[in-house]
Amino acid sequence: MKSIETLIRESETRLFKAVFPNTTNHYGTLFGGTALQLMDEVSFICATRFSRKKVVTVSSDKIDFAKPIPEGTIVELVATIKTVGNTSCIVNVDIFMEEMYSNKREKVVSGSFTFVAVDDQKKPIPIIDC
């Protein structure tokens, strides 16, 4: 059986997206709701890879939008397990913005999501098998 540290390391999940006009608002920047959707998706994948169980989002913590993400940039979402409880885990997500035609890259959004492992009846179960 793998150690919890190994499970955490191996579950890190990365997602890349190009910011196209259909995902931006009238200011030409990524919709906040779209960023939240992508963050929930990548954190769900991370939690699932960590536990290899059915998980559901039960909360999101403070989401910090440090800078707007303009159309024509690339974003990388990085999800990592932060905390492991009995039936839950907390996943940190950072969004990094890259300019397409330069090496400029910076962290622009961060937040965390809590997931609970559930059985077929949607009842909480241990997040990992010990």
Domains and CATH numbers, the chain: 4-117 (3.10.129.10)
Residue 130 pLDDT more than 80? Answer: no
Q: Is the pLDDT of residue 117 over 80?
A: yes
All residues at 6 or more sequence positions from 52 whose CB lies less than 8 Å from its CB, including other chains = none
Q: Tell me if the pTM is above 0.85.
A: yes
Q: What percent of the chain has pLDDT over 90?
A: 98
56 or 129: which carries more pLDDT confidence?
Answer: 56
pLDDT band at residue 1 under the 50/70/90 scheme: confident
Average pLDDT over the chain reads: 97
Alpha-carbon gap, residue 63 to 84, rounded angstroms: 20
Instruction: Convert 20-50 to b/e letters by CB count within 10 Å (16 or more is b).
Output: eeebbeeeebbeeebbbebbbbbbbbbbbeb
- The tokens of 53 are what? 């169980």
